[in-house]
Structure 1
Amino acid sequence: MNETHVPAAVPADPTANTTDLLEHRVAATPDKALFAVPDGAGGWSDISAREFRDRVARVAKGLIAAGLQPGERIGFMAKTSYEWSLVDFAIWYSGAVMVPIYETSSPAQLAWNLTDSGAVGIITEDAAHAARFDEVRGELPDVRISYRLDEGALGKLEAAGSDVTDEELESRRSAAVGTDTATLIYTSGSTGRPKGTVLTHANFVELSRNTEAAIPEVVNSDGTTVLFITLAHVFARFISVLCVQAGIKVGHEPDTKKLVQALGSYQPTFLLAVPRVFEKVYNAAEQKAMAGGKGKIFSAAVHTGVEYSKALDTGHVPLGLKLKFAVLDRLVLSKLRALLGGRATHAISGSAPLGEFLGHFYRSLGLQILEGYGLTETTAPATVNRPGKFKVGTTGPAMPGTGIRIAEDGEIQVIGIPVFKEYWKNPEATAAAFTEDGWFMTGDLGSLDEDGYLKITGRKKEIIITAGGKNVAPAALEDPIRAHVLVSQVVVVGDQKPFISAFLTLDAEMLPQWLATNGLPPMNVAEAAKDPKVRAALQEIVDQANSHVSRAESIRKFTVLPYDFTIESGHLTPKLSIKRHVILADLADEIEAIYSADVNTGGLSVAG
């Protein structure tokens, strides 16, 4: 199959905007909890739909009083929190347009987003964020509005807006229609300078309503979730809007080190995460089991669980496997399930392929990971697995109101409800992103099976063509290597070179436990990169990944770096994807060193 279309499940309303979702929610269930915030004693305090809407209105009036005009852009830089969603809807109610800025952005990145968007204001969270703004403030003469959350910005806005009438607020709130701009999200810049992606009110409204209709088992008013990935990214931002539409109660925990504690107290019914989070949870559980002398039973439970999940796909689970799984589930897997809060039955994963092993592993815990596919330009989900339409290893069928097709060169193209309007003031880039018949060209490579399920195989721009003419998709090698407990990041190289090589970084968080489990003394990342036993383990990991590809596609040499790639170093995007073009530029000398050496030296080296 090369093309598939799924009709919309909900009639479109071209007059609706995002604020209508909250208005409808308040009308339907005014007293139902829509958010929960930490109560300071390890629990959570509920905030009803009416309470949320009333405070949104007061903050919006404050923005109007501050002089923010309809259609004007205002930047927002803060961690994931209840206040993030409050400000988001308040800006919409005021008739303005938010430009979300990642809390990890540098002053230069912040300046670009505000300058390019023509923003007239900014709201920051704390002194650190404000300092970055102050560093470039002289370059931003159009920015006339500035607030800080930790200096009581919300209270000040509420007080300032006391003279704004309800009639003025309603006029602002209801003015936008579906085709109007709802937000301006700048791409993470993994392939170059960020472009402003214009998402409309219809993108959020129609996609939210159709998603609720498509996945009622997960998206319903009995649902609860904890958001911990950044709301500046379209993935979490869409989910937060979807939860308002569906009446799902949302908590927030920006500190992933406190995530297990938050899950235990909040007990969500579904989770939202990127694959790296699921990898980390698995790796941490594995290392804890090994450190406690329970490595063998953990391994047996995982192997049996994966085998059990695979058997479910065949429609028949042998009795012996059922019995074995029941025992190991009680002894091991049920304890892992409790770490996720005990109530979670589904998770939504996006931004990168999850991998079949983890998909089957989590399914054996009773957590069905609904892997999806999308980009900023598709308002997040273009395809998603559903509880009743689910295939491990795929990103599922198209969402309602969406079409997916595969071009002759394997590129995934999308049309329909979720597709963005344009790149902000960049008609050349907009024209280059669409085919003549209106399909958005994603730049990703994939295939559709006979049932219309999409499988991602790589990025078009990342395809490596060796000197021998072999096309290699880096993801096929990088994903399984990165999933190992020892590895933090991996970057495959070899374009126009005689063979494929790779750079690996070690996971500093997982390294101490791995060293202890394997009888090695404590050492830092730089020391471990040179240790023979660590290097031998990495060789085994690479060999395992190589076993799934041809020799021409396999990694012949790899280098272990004495440091890691980070957001702060400029090598990772805020959603933890590698910035390949930046890494390749920064490692140009190391890459040259690999290929200037004798091809037959083989194996592994250590940089630095």
Structure 2
Amino acid sequence: MREYSVPPLATAPRVGGLADAVFENAESGPDQVALCRKDDAGRWEDVSAAQFRDEVMALAKGLLAQGVRFGDRVGIMSRTRYEWTLFDFALWAVGAQPVPLYPTSSAEQVFWMLHDSAVSSCLVEHEDHAMTIGSVIGRLPHLRLLWQLDEDPVAELVEAGRHIEDDVVHRHRMAVTPDAPATVIYTSGTTGRPKGCVISHANFMAEADNVVARYEQVFHSKPGDEASTLLFLPLAHVFGRMVQVAAIRGRVKLGHQPNLSATALLPDLQSFKPSFILAVPYIFEKVFAAARRKAEADGKVGPFDKAVDVARRYAEAMEHKAFGTGSGPGAGLRMQHQLFDKLVYSKVRAAMGGRVRHAMSGGSAMERRLGLFWEGAGVTIYEGYGLTESTAAATANPPEQTRFGTVGLPIPGTTVHIADDNEVWVHGGQVFQGYLNDPKATDAVLHDGWLATGDLGQLDEDGYLTIIGRKKEILVTSGGKTISPVPLEERVRAHPLVAQCIVLGNDRPYVAALVTLDAEAVTHWLQMRGKPSLPATDLVRDPDLETEIRRAVVAANTLVSQAESIRTFRILASQFSEEHGLLTPSLKLKRKAIETAYEAEVAALYER
């Protein structure tokens, strides 16, 4: 199949913008809980729709009082927190355009984004961010205002705007049109300078409203309960931003968690108790790996692995039933599944608060085996696919028929086309307006409303999309063999000891790989085997550890022909990091930078 379309369930309004939903929600259900935030004691505190509207209105007046004007661009450099959502909707209420900045961005990255978008004011989280901007402020002639969240600028702005009438904000809000730019989100960029994606109010509304209409049933842990989600994705990324917009428009209670570490995230999941979550595969991998490590430490790894096998077989049988290719789990498998639900699966679900029965995953590929496990464990993960340029999701697995290992069908209102070279093209209301100040780059990806994604894919007979790699990442060995590195890398990464894997081989005689280790998993592995802790430089030469990683490589090689297989690998003493310029803020590998940084190690892989 070369093309598949799904008709829209919602169309973007002909008038208005994103802030309107805040006022409409407060009008129709003022007492309904809209958001949650933590009080000074760390307890979750409900924020009603009416209260949120009032806070948005008060902040919007303060922004006007301090000189923010219709069409101005305002930078936001912060982790995910309540105030980001408050500022977003207040800025949209006055017709301004938030420009998100990753909180880990370097001074030069910050300079480029603020300069390119001609930002007139900026909100930062703390003093370190302020100093980053301060180091380049002399080259930013448009930047006039800087607010710092840990100095409570909200109170200052609210006080400054007390004299402004509500009608002034309403006049600004009503002047916003759906085709007006809502935000400029800079691509994290594996190569070159980040490009500013101009995303309109209509783009967000088409995306969020169709997702809400199609998936509203999965927002609940059971029919009729309160829908709620804890947002821990970075709001600087389009996925997190779409979740925020969809939660407000879909009237889903929204909480925020700024820290993705397990020690911070898991307690908040357990206290907030979301009914569903949206995450990247890394989160689901981490929860699974932590559960297995605990089972091993308790001497129960055998039963745990049996439970994993039962979960996968049960989910696969249910998948066959959904597609009419099987009758579902047999009686024996159902009994085993029921037993392990009490002993294992319920405890894994409890790590995410206990109420989660559905989740959506995007940002990178999820291995089919992991998706099957979670399905069998009672949490259906709907894997999807999208880009900043498509305002997040272009495809996602449907609730009724989830095909694990694929990224699903086009979301309502979207068409997916596979070009002659297997590039994925997308058409729909969520396709962005273009790159800011870069018509040449815009023309390269937009063709009569179609977005050429740069990703390679294939559609099966039912219209489900599978991503097989990126055009720019295809390797061609010196023998002329063409290889997509991503499937190999993902399979190696599935091993619990592996943190990252990069596959090499472009213009080289064979395929090789660099592998980094998960420090927490390795510490546990050493303890369980009675091995002493070693410096990283010595640890990577441990023969038992090398044997473990070789198993991961052998498993990956089963996916491809011998000519495409990984012939040799090297374990590195440290992980690739964003701080060293080897990862994008969304944790994608910067391949050229990694090959340059590890030039000696790469050369050693090809010494004969």
Find 2:542's aligned residue among 526, 531, 534.
531
Deviates further, 171-180 or 343-352: 171-180
Question: Structure 2 CA distance, aligned partners of 1:296 and 1:522?
Answer: 25
- Correspondence 1:191 to 2:191: yes
Give how far 1:40 is off: 4.8
Find 2:423's aligned residue among 402, 405, 411.
411
Give how far 1:518 is off: 2.8
**Corresponding residue of 1:450:** 461
Match of 1:162, SS state, is coil
Give how far 1:529 is off: 1.1
Contact 2:195 2:436 in 1 (8 A): yes
**Corresponding residue of 1:356:** 368
Give how far 1:238 is off: 0.3
Contact 2:310 2:336 in 1 (8 A): yes
Contact 1:75 1:101 in 2 (8 A): yes
Moved over 3 A (4+): 39-43
**Corresponding residue of 2:313:** 307
Give how far 1:443 is off: 0.6
Question: Structure 2 CA distance, aligned partners of 1:571 and 1:89?
Answer: 34
Question: Structure 2 CA distance, aligned partners of 1:456 and 1:368?
Answer: 20
Among the aligned pairs, what percent are the same residue?
43
Contact 2:31 2:48 in 1 (8 A): yes
- Correspondence 1:146 to 2:146: yes
Find 2:349's aligned residue among 318, 334, 337.
337
Measured against aligned partners, the alpha-carbon deviations of 1:368-421 in whole angstroms (never above 9, x if no partner) come to 001000000000010011211321111111111111010111111001111000
- Correspondence 1:471 to 2:482: yes
Measured against aligned partners, the alpha-carbon deviations of 1:147-189 in whole angstroms (never above 9, x if no partner) come to 1111121111111111222121111112111111000000001
Measured against aligned partners, the alpha-carbon deviations of 1:18-40 in whole angstroms (never above 9, x if no partner) come to 11222222222211111111235
- AA of the residue aligned to 1:179: D
- Correspondence 1:321 to 2:333: yes
**Corresponding residue of 2:528:** 517
Give how far 1:545 is off: 0.9
- Correspondence 1:240 to 2:244: yes
Root-mean-square deviation (Å)? 1.4
- Correspondence 1:346 to 2:358: yes
TM-score, normalization: structure 2? Answer: 0.96
Contact 1:506 1:525 in 2 (8 A): no
- AA of the residue aligned to 1:85: T
Aligned in 2, Cα 1:389/1:25: closer, same or farther, shift over 3 Å? farther
Deviates further, 334-343 or 356-365: 334-343
- AA of the residue aligned to 1:226: L
Question: Structure 1 CA distance, aligned partners of 2:279 and 2:529?
Answer: 30
Give how far 1:544 is off: 1.2
Match of 2:547, SS state, is helix
Contact 2:219 2:276 in 1 (8 A): no
Question: Structure 2 CA distance, aligned partners of 1:483 and 1:138?
Answer: 47
Matches within 5 A, 1:382-393: 382-393=394-405
**Corresponding residue of 1:367:** 379
Contact 1:508 1:525 in 2 (8 A): no
Measured against aligned partners, the alpha-carbon deviations of 1:175-207 in whole angstroms (never above 9, x if no partner) come to 111111000000001132100000000011122
Aligned in 2, Cα 1:199/1:470: closer, same or farther, shift over 3 Å? same
Find 1:290's aligned residue among 277, 287, 296.
296
Contact 1:406 1:446 in 2 (8 A): yes
Match of 2:79, SS state, is coil
**Corresponding residue of 2:445:** 433
- Correspondence 1:275 to 2:287: no
Q: Which runs of 5+ in 2 are unaligned?
A: 322-327
**Corresponding residue of 2:203:** 203
Question: Structure 1 CA distance, aligned partners of 2:118 and 2:43?
Answer: 41
- AA of the residue aligned to 1:412: V
TM-score, normalization: structure 1? Answer: 0.96
- Correspondence 1:98 to 2:109: no
- AA of the residue aligned to 1:112: W
Measured against aligned partners, the alpha-carbon deviations of 1:45-102 in whole angstroms (never above 9, x if no partner) come to 1001111111111111111111111111111101111111011111111211111001
**Corresponding residue of 1:602:** none
Aligned pairs, number = 596
Q: Which runs of 5+ in 1 are unaligned?
A: 599-608
Match of 2:230, SS state, is strand
- Correspondence 1:57 to 2:57: yes
Contact 2:12 2:178 in 1 (8 A): no
Question: Structure 1 CA distance, aligned partners of 2:3 and 2:21?
Answer: 32
**Corresponding residue of 1:224:** 228
Contact 2:3 2:459 in 1 (8 A): yes
Question: Structure 2 CA distance, aligned partners of 1:123 and 1:169?
Answer: 20
Question: Structure 2 CA distance, aligned partners of 1:11 and 1:567?
Answer: 38
Question: Structure 2 CA distance, aligned partners of 1:35 and 1:593?
Answer: 54
Contact 1:389 1:396 in 2 (8 A): no
Give how far 1:42 is off: 5.4
- Correspondence 1:263 to 2:269: yes
Contact 2:319 2:402 in 1 (8 A): no
**Corresponding residue of 2:472:** 461
Question: Structure 2 CA distance, aligned partners of 1:510 and 1:209?
Answer: 40
**Corresponding residue of 2:124:** 124
Match of 1:357, SS state, is helix
Question: Structure 1 CA distance, aligned partners of 2:369 and 2:264?
Answer: 26
